Amino acid sequence: MSGTTAAQTAKHLLEIKGLEVGFKTQNGVVKALKGVDFTIDAGETVAIVGESGSGKSTTAAAIINLLPGSGQILAGEVLFEGKDLAKASRKELEDIRGKRIGYVPQDPMSNLNPVWSVGFQVEETVKANGLAAGRKAVHAKAVEVLENAGLPDPGKRMRQYPHQFSGGMRQRVLIGIGLASKPRLLIADEPTSALDVTVQRRILDHLDTLTRDDGTALLFITHDLGLAAERAEKLIVMYKGRIVEAGPSLEILQNPLHPYTQRLIAAAPSLASRRIQSSSEHLGSIHHRVDDAASSVDLIDAAELRVEHVATAAAGPAIEVDGLTKVFKLRTGGLKTEDFTAVDNVSFQVPKGTTLALVGESGSGKSTVAKLLLGLEKATSGAITIDGRRSEKLAGKELLALRRSMQPVFQDPYGSLDPLVNIGATISEPMRVHSVGDRTSRRERVFELLDQVALPKAIAGRYPNELSGGQRQRVAIARALALKPDIVVLDEAVSALDVLVQAQILKLLADLQGELGLTYLFITHDLAVVRVIADNVAVMQKGRIVEQATTDEVFDSPSQQYTRELLDAIPGAGIKMGL
């Protein structure tokens, strides 16, 4: 491979030295990068891993000098093929962007202009980079670009508009655009975070092939340690604008030296799932390296704890769903409607005090099941029995009583709390609605709940926008627990959180379940999380449950092809953890 020989010469393809980036705010310049150094050689795949706010995306944007808003490079050099891009003129940068350095943005939903056809946007790139001249040649080149990106029937698809493409197809188009002029370096900023795992896997496999064939170096930005380690040879772990650890992926995974990296590895569900499969003694060394026990969580410990208490839990179903079906009427223009079956003859049981994980990709109907269960939507047919009572026909007072025993926690910690209501009032609202207790007793209960979710009492007078995502999710859990429910429906409740926070919330949920004997319906797209939280798993595909078994059975001997695909697509599944 030509890239490898180039790499062995002393010169690096990209060399970043002492890079500092600041954003101007009302309180002066805030540094997002505080001196970052790393190199990428030709043909190499490097992943930057970090949580939100670590500066990983800022690093990517600084390389091509496309910092958003008030961002600016304060110090340092970005040497690309020996040329300092930090000091390059606008003209020089425009020549390099697209042609020498390709860029694949994070969100495939918003990075294609909805008013132009996909073909037009690809042709635009082809023209801007001077890859072809003349209308016919440009068109032919654009078709070729899309074909290389793995888009089926590109000639026909070019005339279509972005909204007619699925998320995965749009990301293929963006990757095609990024690689159109065979750049030396491709920067991919969370290229698959918005996609389903099976789609993510196909796209990344394809990206691997493309970059390997052309000897393109790949800088890959992600929050998922498992994904990074699986896809990249070199790993850079960033924390608060600094690189805390860098080196060969496997070596970092097996022998993390910085406490932050150790914490990340202990908390990453994809790796935890992998570690449960491998022998725990082999990686046992990671456990006692984590020194700050108070704020770090090892998911394996949490999972073991759960198994212990579940063994003692009493049986008997808390939730029983039988033949549940929900048909939506979709408007197909004019007055015509078309039936769309979102939930198709779904049946399951959740024994008291246990967790059932409902797993599926987007559009599988898992969230609709949650809404039907909570009575936020009416079922078309089927029966829901909660604690021995048929719930789907309840109304008025009985529905209110049912709501007391079953509470939800939603995915988006930024959207699930009313921004104008303070935390104390948010948590006590369910008690006020159900006229439970008086002012003082409600106050007492709010403090008790805050204590249960490990938040200080002083937070009661605060407003949601002052809290981090994890804190908000704790508040949402406290609100759900206010009426002492038996059942909590967790709809993607940890999906939007950073890894470390996610691990803490998972542990909190497990602790609360042990303490209060709660029954969880845990809805998620992330099979990796399931392994550490659930007792039973139901896999949904296109509105139907395709497989249902205990967690260990599903992970160790999945009976369905679809489940196997999902399991294989868990990032990190391909890593050999030194076995």
Partner 1 sequence: MSSDMTGAGATRSASHFVASVEDAPIDSVDAVKLDEKPSNLWIDAWRDLRTRPMFWISLGLILLILTVALLPTLFTQTDPRACDLANSLAGPGPGAPLGYTKQGCDIYSRIIDGTSTSLSVGLIVILLTTVTGVLFGALAGFFGGFVDTVFMRLGDIFFSIPYILAAVVIMSVFSENRNIVVIALAIGVFAWPTTARVLRSEVLRVKNADYIMAAEATGLSKMGILLKHVLPNSIAPVIVVTTLSLGAAITAEATLSFLGVGLPPQDYMSWGNEISAAQRDLRTDPQTLIYPSIALTLTVLSFILLGEALRDALDPKARALR
Residues 171-210, interacting with partner 1 (CB under 8 A): 208
Minimum distance from CB of 371 to partner 1 (Å)? 8
Residues 463-502 that bind partner 1 (CB under 8 A): 463-468, 470-471, 476, 479, 483, 500-501
Kindly tell me which of 32 and 122 has the beta carbon lying closer to partner 1. Answer: 32
Residues 207-236 that bind partner 1 (CB under 8 A): 208, 230, 233-234
Minimum distance from CB of 416 to partner 1 (Å)? 4
- CA gap 458, 375 in Å, rounded: 34
Kindly tell me which of 106 and 428 has the beta carbon lying closer to partner 1. Answer: 428
Residue 506 sits in the site that holds partner 1 (CB under 8 A): no
Minimum distance from CB of 26 to partner 1 (Å)? 9
Half-sphere exposure of 442 toward its Cβ, with a 13 Å CA cutoff? 18
Considering only CA atoms, which of 33, 50, 46, 162 is closest in space to residue 107? 162
Question: Two tokens at 134?
Answer: 């003349």
- CA gap 28, 364 in Å, rounded: 47
Q: How many of the other CB atoms lie within 10 Å of CB of 324?
A: 24
Helical H segments across 191-324, by residue range: 197-214, 225-231, 249-254, 259-267, 269-277, 285-289, 299-312
- CA gap 450, 447 in Å, rounded: 5
Kindly tell me which of 294 and 315 has the beta carbon lying closer to partner 1. Answer: 294
Question: Two tokens at 113?
Answer: 């202009």
- φ/ψ of 416, rounded to 5, equals -95, 0
Minimum distance from CB of 292 to partner 1 (Å)? 7
Beta bridge partners of 519: 487
- φ/ψ of 321, rounded to 5, equals -120, 130
Question: Two tokens at 179?
Answer: 């690689």
Minimum distance from CB of 123 to partner 1 (Å)? 32
Kindly tell me which of 469 and 517 has the beta carbon lying closer to partner 1. Answer: 469
Kindly tell me which of 352 and 404 has the beta carbon lying closer to partner 1. Answer: 404
Among 31, 127, 242, 352, binds partner 1 (CB under 8 A): 242
- CA gap 87, 188 in Å, rounded: 23
- φ/ψ of 221, rounded to 5, equals -105, 130
Among 30, 137, 257, 307, binds partner 1 (CB under 8 A): 257
Minimum distance from CB of 462 to partner 1 (Å)? 6
Minimum distance from CB of 519 to partner 1 (Å)? 16
Residues 258-297 that bind partner 1 (CB under 8 A): 258-260, 263, 292, 294-296
- CA gap 324, 338 in Å, rounded: 20
Q: How many of the other CB atoms lie within 10 Å of CB of 288?
A: 9
Residues 436-465 that bind partner 1 (CB under 8 A): 455-456, 458-459, 461-465
Residues 375-434 that bind partner 1 (CB under 8 A): 375-376, 399-400, 403-404, 407-408, 410-412, 415-422, 429-430, 433-434
